[in-house]
Amino acid sequence: MASKILANCTHGDDDPERATLPFIVGNVAASAAQEAVVLLTVDGVWLATKGYADRVHKDGFQPLADLVRSFVENGGEIWACGACTKPRGITDGDLIPGAKIVTAANVVEYMASGASTLSF
């Protein structure tokens, strides 16, 4: 039985470990045919922008840019919080493939439909 996984990421290059872990969880879920979303909030939204993940790496982990690409290739979705992207000046044109800006209503609907959530 397929399930829904929502991993919330609140960090970027300020905490490479917390930026990486949601994509590890997401990759495991997506590669196991689970519906998986990484929700980027607060400074995590920078991970949805072109080139940003290339400079985020925690020793002992696979490079974040590789994890992000693998996650999307495995069918995972990257959601950037619209309330968080707006004050940072991030628009659709800034986003990497597989990422989209969403509203709180999108997130609530996903959670209400049975998604299990985890936050980093």
Domains of the chain: 4-119 (3.40.1260.10)
Query: Contact at 8 Å (CB) between 48 and 96?
Result: yes
User: What global pTM score does this model have?
Assistant: 0.96
Mean pLDDT of the chain: 96
Helix (H) or strand (E) holding 99: strand 99-102
pLDDT exceeds cutoff 60 at 1: no
C-alpha span between 61 and 80 (Å, rounded): 23
pLDDT exceeds cutoff 80 at 110: yes
